[in-house]
Chains A and B, each alone.
Chain A
């Protein structure tokens, strides 16, 4: 089944404890992206990747890192999480950036205390 998977789905952590949210797609998509969803602010792009080893900042990259060593994986890294990073996170992918449908993962609900 074609899908985007994220792990973990739910995470409660403490300020400053490094964490990684994994994202994987099995559709051989070149483009992958991370969004966060917050009440009243909608979904905002954090980082995106056009292909392996090609990543760039979205609208809200501060406090996040990403890497794209393999085509299928695009992990989101929070080196020192803070409470303002409490949010619902979505990974998305599409065949190629632009003019193609984007597929979203199931979301990761992160709480930083």
Chain B
């Protein structure tokens, strides 16, 4: 089955710092999404990005489908960025379920 690996598993930043989170996947995928899970457990859609580059404010993402990886960039981090960042890919079977990586736990210190 498809493997989704995220790195680093944990990251501590000082407020204002930049960071790059990585997601590697083992096979061709139809769908790749990045989510932020906040401290209350809610999954917040960040990007739907099966290929190419997108930007939304301080966040941007790039997926290179041919090389099977995606990157999430966080610039000028804020304490509200803390939480767990998940990459999820869609398995090409009939259930269209998303397969989640194990996440990167980010703590931004003031």
Contacts and interface: CB of A to CB of B under 8 A. Distances in A.
Interface string B14-41: 0000000000000000110101000001
Nearest to B92: A98
Contact of B33 (A88, A102, A109): A102
Interface residues of B, number: 21
Q: Is the interface of A mostly helix, strand, loop or mixed?
A: strand
Given A88-B41, A107-B41, A102 B98 contact: yes
A30 to B, nearest CB: 11
A59 B97 contact: yes
B91 to A, nearest CB: 9
Interface of B: 30-31, 33, 35, 41-43, 45, 48, 50, 88, 90, 94-98, 100-103
Interface of A: 31, 33, 35, 37, 42-43, 45, 48, 56, 58-59, 88, 90, 92, 94, 97-104, 106-107, 109
